[in-house]
Amino acid sequence: MIAEAGLAALWFAAALAALQLAMAALGLWRGQAEPVAAVRPIAIVQGGLAAVAMAALIALFLASDMSVRLVVENSHAAKPWLYKFAGAWGNHEGSMLLWVTILGLAGGAVAILERRLPERTLIATLGAQAGIALGFYAFLLFASNPFARVSPAPANGLGLNPLLQDPGLAFHPPTLYIGYVGISVAFSFAVGALVTRDVGPAFARAMRPWVLGAWIFLTLGITAGSYWAYYELGWGGWWFWDPVENASLMPWLAATALLHSVTVLATRDGLRAWTVMLAVVAFSMSMIGTFLVRSGILTSVHAFAVDPERGAFILALLAIYIGGALALFAARIGTVRAGTTFSLVSREGGLVVNNLLLSVILGIVLIGTLYPLVAAGFGVQLSVGPPFFNKAAGPIALALVVAMAVGPLLRWRRDDAGALLDRLIWPIAAAGFTGAALVVLAPPGVLPLFGLSLAAGLAVASVLPLVGRNLRRTPLFTWGMVVAHLGIAVSLAGMACDSAYTSETLVAAAVGQPVRVGPYVVKLDGIKPVVGQNWSALEARLSASRDGETMVLRPQSRYFSDPVTTTSESAIATEWDGQLYTVLGQADGQGRWQLRLWWKPFVTLIWFGGVLIALGGALSLVGRWRRERRIAAREAYA
């Protein structure tokens, strides 16, 4: 019953999306009032129905209903409930359902909350949102039905991929998807504004909170995913330039650029065409990311199923939406009045530099991700890895950090280069001092040296906008910018420390044998078997001592029976100045055990910085919202 109800909700939602699109088109074309009035309520109900379908799928997973194919293929009755719940989206069909659910809910949220956009633009926006949803509903219903039954029902399921059996699965995909798909709102706004030729500061101010909201979740999702991969995969790395990581990074880069250009449009009415273009690109990157993952066209840890038919379906949707939006852009943008211009040394100029650098990084990541495909077309087999991305994107990212330090210290419209240098004295001094101190005390490589110095400079520069202000009267969105930029500095420092000062030891250790790693001496005390709800494991007891203090770590080598897989569960000790990361490997049959040990100084700063960046976004969002409310109240009073 639940499966049928879920499927019915999905069909109704699809039908409503079609209706929403038709009503919006009719209303805009003929200018009639009735269809226009219908669009908002339809959008709300459509989002609600998508949520009902998602809830039905979660209910099926929680109940372990083995007559549903998706549950059989991806779940098991003996699994802990959290993974039954999160397992609903730990597979192709479920994750696509989550995708459209968020798309529908985002459209519903726009219909409920958006009051400032001119009515025609809003209707066009909701029409565009319905158009996107319709395509992905069709994809679910015709090519990826999550509610299909099997008959006869098997006694039990095949189980979830054990790598996914982790609390990370409950948090990472939904957060990332809210960011990923939330950007669709910016796309729809851009399409709506192009349809009604209404690109200006009012449009930018209306779009900004949506971009900011999606961006916050995208930041959190990427940060969570990075930490999850770091501890779960047991390789000790926090970013692998895997195609799917790139697929989440690309929308983030585009959304970050958009976030800054939309500010120029809102404040100074500049960068009109560019902002619209970025809004289209940001969500296009989300869709391309979805395509890369779902089609299995690139080999990746995230590719659930290699399926060219589904790939072709999504590719067709991509061609319609992205191609359509870009064609609309080309046809209409010429008729949008050019915005105001500004001098190069100005806040706008700084933001343009930020946008250009972000776009270049985006281009590098896109080219690196797709290059294996291009090469395969010429019969060459290759993969593009960290050496390319780090070398190509690293220096530009550092240039971006410089721009980030300078930008907020610039005035709008026009500034004086000499006065700017005066303002930059402290950041430059901090960077120079850090660099010199590092070269003397513990010389790292070139890139980490620049990374740490610039991180110090940026940290100082990012708090300068607060200096000399009354902190309690400083607007929250200024605090947001300060915190987010400081977050980048913190994260960058963590990355540079990790790459420069990590020590790694690989040993086949006998019981009782001491092994040195970083400031620690680690001793293998013994190995014992342990049992969990659906796994058994060999657990090592390691005692790690440093400066006379000893702590115990218990890395495991886990054996899952459904499906049969072994995973290594790393044990990590977090200290104020870094992490000790331990992984248990195989046995050699003569009482020796393979151990991988890392000491990673200040590595936690990477994710702490990520959380700060998202927090900065949240402060900004609240700040903007409060100001809007104040303005609205004043207008109502007047």
Partner 1 sequence: MRRWLIWTPLVLFALLFAIVAGGLFKPADRVVRSALVGKPLPDFTLPPIAPGKPGLSSAAFRQGQPRLLNIFASWCIPCAAESPQLVRLKAMGVPIDAIAIRDTAPALVDFLRRNGDPYDRIGDDRQSAVQLALGSSGVPESFVIDGRGRIVLQHVGDIRADDVATIAAAIRDAK
Which of residues 343 and 586 has its CB atom nearest to partner 1 in the complex? Answer: 586
Choose between 80 and 308: whose C-beta lies nearer to partner 1: 308
- Please identify, using beta-carbon distances, which residue of 373 and 551 lies nearer to partner 1: 373
Distance CA 36, CA 225 (A): 41
Question: What are 324-331's contacts with CB under 8 Å, separation 24+?
Answer: 325/187, 325/190, 325/191, 325/194, 325/280, 325/284, 326/280, 328/191, 328/194, 328/195, 329/190, 329/194, 329/276, 329/277, 329/280
Q: According to CB under 8 A, which one of 319, 429, 437, 530 is a site residue for partner 1?
A: 319
User: What is the helix, strand, coil percentage profile of the chain, to 5?
Assistant: 65, 10, 20
When asked if residue 445 is in the footprint of partner 1 (CB under 8 A), the reply is no
Element (H, E) at 43: helix 33-62
**Of the ranges 42-50, 443-451, 457-465, 584-592, which one interacts with partner 1 (CB under 8 A)?**
584-592
DSSP character string of 127-151: HHHHHHHHHHHHHHHHH--TT-B-S
Nearest CB to partner 1, comparing residues 120 and 596: 596
Q: How far is the CB of 311 from partner 1 (least distance, A)?
A: 5
Distance (Å) of CA 16 to CA 48, 337, 347: 11, 35, 45
Bridge partner list, 515:
522
CA–CA gap between residue 455 and residue 78 (Å, rounded)? 48
Closest separation in Å from C-beta 292 to partner 1: 8
Query: Quick one: which of 77, 315, 464, 622 contacts partner 1 (CB under 8 A)?
Result: 315
> From residue 241 to residue 280, what is the string marking binding to partner 1 with x (rule CB under 8 A)?
--------------------------------x---x--x
Alpha-carbon gap, residue 248 to 235, rounded angstroms: 20
Closer residue to partner 1, CB minimum distance, 349 or 372: 372
From residue 376 to residue 415, what is the string marking binding to partner 1 with x (rule CB under 8 A)? xx---x----------------------------------
For the bound state, the minimum distance from the C-beta of residue 308 to partner 1, rounded and expressed in Å, comes to: 6
Position among 416, 504, 525, 577 found at the interface with partner 1 (CB under 8 A)? 504
Size of the site for partner 1 (CB under 8 A): 44
Q: Which of 29, 155, 334, 341 binds partner 1 (CB under 8 A)?
A: 334
* Nearest distance in Å: CB 256, partner 1: 19
Strand partners, 298: none
CA angle, 573 then 577 then 579, to 5°: 25
Q: Does residue 33 touch partner 1 according to CB under 8 A? A: no
Quick check: 299 binds partner 1 (CB under 8 A)? yes
Cβ-contact 539, 529 below 8 angstroms: yes
Q: Which two tokens stand for residue 288?
A: 């391309």
> Does residue 233 touch partner 1 according to CB under 8 A?
no
Dihedral angle of Cα 443, 445, 446, 448, to the nearest 10 degrees: -90
Which tokens hold the place of 285?
Answer: 């990157």
- Positions touching partner 1 (CB under 8 A) are 273, 277, 280-281, 284, 288, 291, 295, 297, 299, 308, 311-312, 315, 318-319, 322-323, 326-327, 329-330, 333-334, 338, 370, 372-374, 376-377, 381, 504, 506-508, 585-588, 590, 592, 594-595
